[in-house]
Amino acid sequence: MNAINQAESASLVSEPLRIQPVLDAKGVVREMALVGGHSRLTSALLTNAASADALRRAGRIFRAAGCMATLSMDHPLNVHSDILLPQQLCQDLRIGAVAGDQLRDTLQEAQLSQPIYPCAKVTYNVPLSDRLAQGATLFHSYQELQPALRVRLLPSAQVPFGTLRATGLRVGIPEGICTRRPLQERFFSLLGQASRQGLKVLAQDIRRIDDFNWLRAQPDVLFQGEALSIALSLQYVQEWLASAGPSWRAFQMGA
């Protein structure tokens, strides 16, 4: 997006946390992805402390705007942990409890008046594991697409730290997939496997608009990448929400 790119280019290095819109095939914003101030040559996964802080900062921004958008974030969950994985995620992100429909702070941070965020509105992109979804490790065979599992932390009547429910897959899109038949066949194969397991796909790291134009023909896929929007500073997102009001989802690609 030319106007956004020009306004944002100078702030990329100085803003460690940014937000990148996730769009559907029509260009409507479906969620907001929290991303770190990293280059493609460094890991996109934030540390536990940075992930916890990022979730809270984003939560404050969207709550203040009266716009509780669906958020998503990468998180390097240790899927081989000896403890239950919902408990591990809560420890990583300093979540004290999943109470009602809210993520609550730990006792040490309980003096904060507001909960962190509605639990059903946060999606975590985590490593593949059959502990999270039966058959998830089958997607390890699609390494050229760098799959990760998308999960949500939801309330549980049995334990205060909730339960993790798999909702989808995040995949990385190799540049030029629109003209690379073998990669297209692998992508179609992954889509079919994901559909059979009831998992919706987020196509991430789209860097070419012709790749997006090819991908958008696939049903029920979400899209994220620099071809659609670079990651935006928190200040820009605040101004966007304030000026757009209830029409903030009407994101115009190419404007």
Q: For each of the domains in the chain, give its residue range(s) and CATH number, in order of start.
A: 2-247 (3.20.20)
Nearest-5° angle of CA 163, CA 168, CA 174?
A: 140
Among positive and negative, which fits the CA dihedral 132, 137, 139, 143? positive
Residue type, position 44, single letter: A
Within 8 A by CB and 6+ apart from 204, the residues are 170, 171, 172, 173, 224, 225
Taking the model in full, what pTM does it have? Answer: 0.86
Phi-psi region of 211 (alpha: psi -120 to 50; beta: other; left: phi over 0): alpha
By the 10 Å C-beta count (0-12 exposed, 13-18 middle, 19+ buried), 128 is classed as buried
What does the alpha-carbon distance between residue 170 and residue 124 come to, in Å, rounded to a whole number?
Answer: 10
CA-closest candidate to residue 18, choices 53, 52, 56, 58: 58
Amino acid 254: pLDDT: 44
CA–CA distances in Å: residue 106 to residues 130, 134, 141 = 28, 31, 38
Give 112-150 as a DSSP string.
SSS-SEEGGGEEEEE---TTTSTTGGGGGGGGGG--EEE
Residue by residue, pLDDT tens for the chain (255 residues) are 433 444 443 343 344 789 999 999 998 999 999 997 444 434 434 478 888 999 999 999 998 888 889 999 999 999 999 999 999 999 999 999 998 899 999 866 555 557 899 999 999 999 999 999 999 999 999 999 999 999 999 999 888 899 999 999 999 999 999 999 999 999 999 999 999 999 999 999 999 999 999 999 998 999 999 999 999 998 889 888 888 777 777 755 544
Closest CA to 222 of 243, 204, 244, 248: 204
Closest CA to 97 of 163, 166, 182, 49: 163
The answer to whether 94 touches 27, Cβ cutoff 8 Å, is no
Residue 12's CB is within 10 A of a number of other CB atoms, namely: 14
The pLDDT of residue 12 is: 38
Q: Which two tokens stand for residue 155?
A: 């309330």
**pLDDT score of 251:** 59
101 within 8 A of 121, measured Cβ to Cβ: no
Q: Which residue has 């999943």 as its token pair?
A: 98
